[in-house]
Amino acid sequence: MAEEAYNSSSEMKGLPKVLVLGPPLSFSSLQPLYSHKFHFLKPHLSDLSLQHFLQIHHPPSIAAILCSPNYSVTAEVLRLLPSLRLLVTTSIGTDHIDLRECRRRGIQVTSAGAIFSEDVADMAVALLIDGMRKISAADRWLRTQNRHNTPWHLFPLGSKLSGKQVGIVGLGRIGMEVAKRLEPFGCIISYNSKHKKTTVSYPFYPTVVELATNCGVLVLCCELNEQTKHIINREVMLALGKGGFIVNIGRGGLIDEKELVKCLMEGEIGGAGLDVFENEPRVPQELFEMNNVVLSPHAAAITEESFMNMCEVAGGNLEAFFSNKPLISPVTLPE
Ligand SMILES: O=CC(=O)O
C-alpha cells in the first residue's frame, strides 16, 4: 500500500504532530525509529498545497516542524502554523529558515549541531587535493587516453599543496577542523571571521580581500547570511590571483557564481572545488567543461555514519522538546 500523507489510525491519537517539510534525506531512516512517538504529517505525499494540506490537519495542533535544508521556511510558511514552537532542521546551515521571524514568534530552532563537522572538513580537504593535484581530471584522462596509447607525460602538471598559504573564511567548528587537517600538510593557515579569535594564533585578516591577497587557497566554511552573501566577489578572486584555488563547502551563495565562472574562464583564478552552488540543483553548464574544477552534489556532510547521527540528533531534539528537556543542538537566534 502506498505511504499516506498522514496516518489517521487510532494509534496516532494523542501523539504529538510533527509537520515534515522537505522531507529531509534522512526521513526514511528516522521515521521507523520515531513513528511510535510522533505523528508525522507528510505534505510531500499529498497533491495539495501546504496551505490546503494544513486546513485538513488543524494547524493549531501542530507544535513542531522537521525540515530539510532545501525547504525554505519563510515567514509565510510560519504564519500557517499559529502554535508552532519548535523547528528542527537536519542541516548545519540555517539559511533556509527565517530565523528573525522564529525569534519574534518565540519558536525554538535546532540544527545538526557539530555532527557533520568532521565529514565536511574531510571533504573540503579532499576537494582541495583533488583539484590541485588533478586527481579526478587524471582519472578521466587515463580512462580515455590509455585507449589511444597517449604518452603519460602529456597529462598536465598539478600544483603542490604542501606549504601553501591557506585562508579559511569562517573559523568556526568546520573551519577549525579544516585547519587541523591542513597543518600536517605544512600549509600555513590564516583566516577571516566575524571576529578575531583569542583562542588561536593563526593570523587574522579583517577583510576577505586582505586574506585572499595573502593566500593561494581560500576555503569557505562560513554560514550564508546577509553579511556573507557574495563575500567572494570578483575583487576577492582577482586578489587571490591566477594560481589561486577556492574550495566551497559552505553555501553556493557565498560566491558570486557568475563572476566565479568568468574568472575561471579568463584564467583569473586557477581552479575550484565546489560542493555547493548558488541555485541548487542547477550547476552552471560551463563548469562541466572545465578540468580545473572539481564538483560534488552538496554531499560533503553525508556519510553512512553522519546519516545515522543526523537521525538521532533530529529525533532527540523532538523528544527533548515534547518532554520539556533541554534541546540537544539549539540554534542561537539573531537579534
Ligand atoms: O549543507 C549541509 C548542512 O548544512 O548540513
Write the DSSP assignment of 72-119 as a string of letters.
-B-HHHHHT-TT--EEEESSS--TTB-HHHHHHHT-EEE--TTTTHHH
Nearest CA to ligand 1 atom 5: 91
Q: Is the dihedral of CA 245, 248, 254, 257 positive or negative?
A: positive
Give dist(CA 88, CA 18) in Å, integer.
10
Check whether the bond before 23 is cis (ω within 30° of 0): yes
Residue spans of the domains in the chain: they are 2-115+305-322, 117-295
Give dist(CA 252, CA 189) in Å, integer.
23
Q: 232 with 254: CB under 8 angstroms? A: yes
Give dist(CA 41, CA 167) in Å, integer.
44
- pLDDT given at position 2: 55
**Is 195 tagged catalytic?**
no
> What is this model's ipTM?
0.95
Q: Which fold has domain 2-115+305-322?
A: Rossmann fold (3.40.50)
Q: 224 with 251: CB under 8 angstroms? A: yes
Exposed, middle or buried by CB within 10 Å (0-12, 13-18, 19+), for 43? buried
Query: Which of 105, 173, 234, 298 is flagged as catalytic?
Result: 298
**Is 235 tagged catalytic?**
no
C-alpha cell at 245: 584555488
Residues 6+ away with beta carbon under 8 Å from 158: 132, 133, 134
Which pTM does this prediction carry? Answer: 0.94
Q: Is 112 in the pocket of ligand 1 (CB under 6 A)?
A: yes
- Ligand 1 center to 251 CA (angstroms): 8
Q: Which fold has domain 117-295?
A: Rossmann fold (3.40.50)
Q: Do domains 2-115+305-322 and 117-295 have the same CATH topology?
A: yes
Q: Is 307 in the pocket of ligand 1 (CB under 6 A)?
A: no
- Phi/psi zone of residue 318: left (φ > 0), alpha (ψ -120 to 50 degrees), beta? alpha
* Nearest ligand 1 atom to alpha carbon 251: 1
Name the 3-class secondary structure at 242: coil
Residues 6+ away with beta carbon under 8 Å from 8: none
- Phi/psi zone of residue 116: left (φ > 0), alpha (ψ -120 to 50 degrees), beta? alpha
Nearest CA to ligand 1 atom 2: 91
pLDDT tens by residue, the chain, 335 residues = 456 676 655 456 789 999 999 999 889 999 999 999 999 999 999 999 999 999 998 889 999 999 999 999 999 999 999 999 999 999 999 999 999 999 999 999 999 999 999 999 999 999 999 999 999 999 999 999 988 999 999 999 999 999 999 999 999 999 999 999 999 999 999 999 999 999 999 999 999 999 999 999 999 999 999 999 999 999 999 999 999 999 999 999 999 999 999 999 999 999 999 999 999 999 999 999 999 999 999 999 999 999 999 999 999 999 999 999 999 999 999 98
Q: Is 22 in the pocket of ligand 1 (CB under 6 A)?
A: no
Give dist(CA 117, CA 176) in Å, integer.
9
